[in-house]
Amino acid sequence: MTLSDDVLGRARVTDNDELRDYYEELAAYEAGALWTVANKIEPWFPQPASVPVLWRYADLRPLVMRSLDLVKADDAGRRVVMLTNPERRDVAAAVGLLYTGLQIMGPGESMTAHRHQAAALRFVVEGEGAWTIVDGQKLKVGPRDFAITPNWAWHEHGNESADTPCIWQDGLDIPLVNALDAGFYEVHPDLYQEPGKVINSSLLTYGAGSMRPVGPAGAWSKPYSPLFAYPWEPTYEALLDAAKASDGSPYDGVIMEYGNPLTGGSVMPTMSAHMQLLRPGEATQAHRHTGSVIYNVAKGSGHSVIAGRRFDWSEGDIFCVPSWAWHEHANASASEDACLFSFNDFPVMRSLTFWREEASTDDGGHQPIA
């Protein structure tokens, strides 16, 4: 629906030669007349420059593999094929203010440590043997595992497999950090971290569902989750269990948020992540909300209708939903379930009070979701 700007309360000045001269004079002093841009800079509703895009893993995988021979990890810093939205290349965004890319690490490879203002997360697509050291803690991650690298945490990655590369999807809030002119970056003074002896120590300490540690480990005061790695098996099991007990969401099927086990909040202050299960044959209702989302098809195949366009997806494909775009998902199979991993900027939207959500109604209209 387009709302008319030719109404009292909107800018509706008709230009003439005198006004055009006036605008030129203002421009000479780095100034301008608000009414020439008012309706554009204060739209009735969000007007994202980002469009829905589907990146097929079958198209990208061979190109990601080729980068192994083309650049050394140490020269590239991170060997990543980034995914960019056509109108957001200038800020390296895949959608809105979110960045994503496919990072590949060859067998036996390891990279130097750094830290930056941007927060990062990983969703492993293929390969055994990947590891990352986050603030001195070594995490080992396998296919469909999710891990976080909170902002300003030292991190370095590697792959200890003898023969297979590892590919994971990176998600970062780089465009957000840059939009706010808040970017900082440091190379580790020793180039590499000295990891603690215990692998996946945060999983051992905080990974047992609702059991919370008492004592120093329970006194975690950082603004992000103390749990850095979320393995696939318990995640999938949690979805299957929830599906036995409830119908889930009409818009997302059975969906769960990766949580900070101490607060129940999002894993990091700027980005959150979900895993959702679409049961065999399930098709969701359409909704829209503020905030951008990037999906990775973790399991199965199906399609999503995003802003009126249909995108068919299968395992490993990545796609995005721009802010305020209508979207609905469907599992193509009558016998297999489908799982979508996704990450988003909802924590930013919520903390700034920008969150809004609407459902479509049977008569083609829409209504707010509380």
Summarize as ranges the residues that interact with ligand GTQ (CB under 6 A): 78, 80, 101, 103, 116, 120, 155, 170, 172
Q: How far is the CB of 75 from ligand GTQ (least distance, A)?
A: 15
Closest CA to 143 of 337, 315, 349: 315
Q: How far is the CB of 104 from ligand GTQ (least distance, A)?
A: 11
Specify the residue, 88 or 116, whose C-beta has the smaller distance to ligand GTQ.
116
Nearest-CB residue for ligand GTQ: 170
* Other residues' Cβ atoms within 10 Å of the Cβ of residue 46: 15
Q: How far is the CB of 201 from ligand GTQ (least distance, A)?
A: 21
* H/E stretch holding 343: strand 338-344
Specify the residue, 172 or 278, whose C-beta has the smaller distance to ligand GTQ.
172
| Residue 67 phi, psi (nearest 5) | -65, -25
Which residue has 């986050």 as its token pair? Answer: 134
Specify the residue, 120 or 229, whose C-beta has the smaller distance to ligand GTQ.
120
Residue 216 tokens read as 């120093």
Closest CA to 159 of 197, 120, 104, 233: 104
User: How distant is the alpha carbon of residue 305 from its chain centre?
Assistant: 19
- In the beta sheet, which residues pair with residue 283? 330
Q: How far is the CB of 115 from ligand GTQ (least distance, A)?
A: 8
| Identity of the amino acid at 176 | L
CA dist., res. 175 & res. 268, Å (int): 16
| Identity of the amino acid at 137 | Q
* H/E stretch holding 232: helix 232-245
User: Which residues lie closer than 8 Å to 120 by C-beta, 6 or more apart?
Assistant: 148, 149, 155, 170, 171, 172
Q: How far is the CB of 155 from ligand GTQ (least distance, A)?
A: 6
Specify the residue, 81 or 243, whose C-beta has the smaller distance to ligand GTQ.
81
Specify the residue, 155 or 329, whose C-beta has the smaller distance to ligand GTQ.
155
Q: How far is the CB of 132 from ligand GTQ (least distance, A)?
A: 8
Specify the residue, 120 or 318, whose C-beta has the smaller distance to ligand GTQ.
120
Specify the residue, 234 or 269, whose C-beta has the smaller distance to ligand GTQ.
269
Q: How far is the CB of 120 from ligand GTQ (least distance, A)?
A: 5
| 233, 144 contact by CB (below 8 A) | no
| 72, 89 contact by CB (below 8 A) | no
